[in-house]
């Protein structure tokens, strides 16, 4: 019996794999025909992607990029919430056409999906209680929080091998653990940490008690994810990204979500959207 079940499971998995492979067609033409671009986005990670409870609309940095691309295509956008753990399967199975979900470009991921040019550049840092961490040495043997399935998880294990890494479902849960003293630091991209720090600063009880020390352990280029071999859509998206840099739209979106008066102020610095291959080699 057990062998029969095993065979059945294997057969099912093979059928699944075949269906998945059959899906990679010309998404650009299909999207135009359907009139809808289905975008996988984060729905609880401000300022990149979240739902505004008042208007009930998706808002954020990632959302604005998708909106612009869809507008240029002349189609509507349908947002589908994804998590760090399920976003790649969702794309590969054809449940979304494009991913705009704070995804770092890595060579491993590029084996399974294709990435656009870098539309956001950040680096991995730490959020800690003020004055507790000055260098990587202070983190050795301690507990550090991060999110499941993220590149941050792998980077910190490499940078501080002696630390215990606690993986939470999402970063805000990690920050909560930091506030309660269950971890000494939360680590991920500076942009996300800045958003969390911004919120801590707004709370009178935690104001001025947290900081992001100047320790960077990686450079994280974010790319929009598309199905492998989906060349037409990739060309269109890359051309649109370059156009957004040229006409100032990319900078405007950055200022809207990360400018000095926002909840997560960071500097764009020298970053510009270019025809780069960052993170892929």
Minimal distance, residue 110 CB to another protein, in Å: 21
Confirm if 146 and 156 have CB atoms less than 8 A apart.
Answer: yes
Task: Candidates 11-19, 125-133, 183-191, 225-233: pick the segment binding another protein (CB under 8 A).
Answer: 11-19
Closest CA to 237 of 109, 51, 83, 113: 113
Work out which of 19, 29, 239, 275 binds another protein, going by CB under 8 A.
19
Minimal distance, residue 13 CB to another protein, in Å: 8
| Total binding residues toward another protein, as defined by CB under 8 A | 39
> What residues from 193 to 212 belong to the interface with another protein (CB under 8 A)?
196, 199-200, 202-203
Minimal distance, residue 136 CB to another protein, in Å: 27
Minimal distance, residue 173 CB to another protein, in Å: 8
Q: Quickly count: other Cβ atoms within 10 Å of residue 150's Cβ.
A: 24
Is 44 a binding residue for another protein by CB under 8 A? The answer is: yes
Q: Following DSSP, what letter does each residue of 97-115 receive, concatenated?
A: SEEESSPBP-HHHHTTEEE
Q: How far apart are CA 211 and CA 263, in angstroms?
A: 14
Is 88 a binding residue for another protein by CB under 8 A? The answer is: no
Is 176 a binding residue for another protein by CB under 8 A? The answer is: yes
Minimal distance, residue 196 CB to another protein, in Å: 7
Confirm if 66 and 77 have CB atoms less than 8 A apart.
Answer: yes
Minimal distance, residue 272 CB to another protein, in Å: 30
Smaller CB separation from another protein, 90 or 144:
90
Minimal distance, residue 269 CB to another protein, in Å: 26
Is 98 a binding residue for another protein by CB under 8 A? The answer is: no
Tokens in use for 21? 């492979």
Work out which of 36, 68, 75, 94 binds another protein, going by CB under 8 A.
94
Work out which of 51, 77, 215, 226 binds another protein, going by CB under 8 A.
51
Confirm if 241 and 39 have CB atoms less than 8 A apart.
Answer: no
Name the site residues for another protein (rule: CB under 8 A): 1, 5, 12-13, 15-17, 19-20, 43-46, 50-51, 53, 55-57, 79-83, 86, 89, 93-95, 169-170, 172, 175-176, 196, 199-200, 202-203
């Amino acid at each position: 019996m057990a062998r029969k079940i095993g065979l059945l499971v294997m057969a099912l998995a093979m059928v699944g794999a075949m269906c998945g492979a059959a899906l990679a067609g010309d998404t650009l033409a299909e999207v135009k025909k359907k009139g809808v671009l289905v975008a996988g986005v984060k729905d609880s990670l401000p300022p990149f992607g979240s739902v505004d409870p008042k208007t009930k609309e998706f808002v954020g940095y990632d959302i604005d990029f998708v909106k612009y691309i869809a507008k240029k295509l002349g189609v509507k956008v349908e947002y589908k919430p994804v998590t760090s753990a399920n976003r790649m399967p969702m794309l590969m199975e054809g449940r979304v056409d494009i991913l705009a979900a704070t995804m770092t470009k890595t060579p491993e991921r590029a084996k399974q999906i294709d990435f656009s040019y870098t539309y956001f550049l950040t680096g991995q840092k730490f959020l800690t209680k003020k004055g507790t961490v000055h260098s990587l040495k202070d983190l050795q043997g301690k507990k550090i929080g991060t999110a499941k399935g993220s590149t941050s998880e792998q980077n910190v294990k490499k940078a501080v091998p002696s630390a215990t890494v606690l993986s939470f479902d999402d970063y805000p849960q990690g920050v909560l653990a930091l506030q309660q003293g269950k971890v000494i630091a939360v680590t991920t991209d500076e942009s996300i940490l800045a958003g969390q720090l911004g919120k801590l600063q707004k709370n009178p009880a935690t104001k001025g008690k947290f900081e992001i020390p100047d320790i960077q352990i990686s450079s994280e280029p974010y790319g929009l994810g598309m199905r492998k071999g989906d060349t037409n859509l990739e060309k269109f998206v890359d051309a649109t990204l370059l156009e957004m840099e040229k006409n100032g739209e990319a900078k405007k979106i950055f200022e809207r979500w990360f400018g000095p008066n926002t909840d997560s102020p960071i500097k764009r610095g020298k970053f510009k959207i270019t025809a780069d291959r960052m993170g892929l080699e």
